[in-house]
Amino acid sequence: MVYKIIWTNVGLVSLDKNLDFISKKWNKKIVNDFLSRIDYITKQIESNPHIFPTSTKFPRYNKVTVHKNVSLFYEVVDSNNVIYIVLVWSNKQNPKKLSSYFR
């Protein structure tokens, strides 16, 4: 069964922030590679929502490494066949800040 992917507002804003950072630091090819990786991962999640493990710190959410410096957090709602992309997190940020997104 295929699930529907829904990007939350925070998910979209955090994706934009990461894309902005990548585009300032590297070139367009790297940006496109990153977007391709996000697309590939979301397609995997869509067809198999539990493919990636739950976060050890936030067990309500699954976590996948997009790149060694970026993680994507998502929530699976099996009863509605919906997956919420909650956050695209730069792993170089202060980890204490991360918990503010998952209250």
Please give, one letter per residue, the 3-state secondary structure of 3-56.
CEEEECHHHHHHHHHHHHHHHHHCCHHHHHHHHHHHHHHHHHHHHCCCCCCECC
Distance CA 21, CA 60 (A): 28
Q: Of 90, 59, 91, nearest to 76 (Cα)?
A: 59
103 pLDDT more than 70: no
Whether 38 and 19 have beta carbons less than 8 Å apart is answered as no
Indicate the domain borders of the chain: 4-91
At residue 4 the predicted structure's pLDDT band, cuts being 50, 70 and 90, is very high
Residue pLDDT, tens place only, 35-49: 999 999 999 999 999
Q: Give percent of the chain with pLDDT exceeding 70.
A: 99
Given CATH 3.30.2310.20, say whether it is the number of domain 4-91: yes
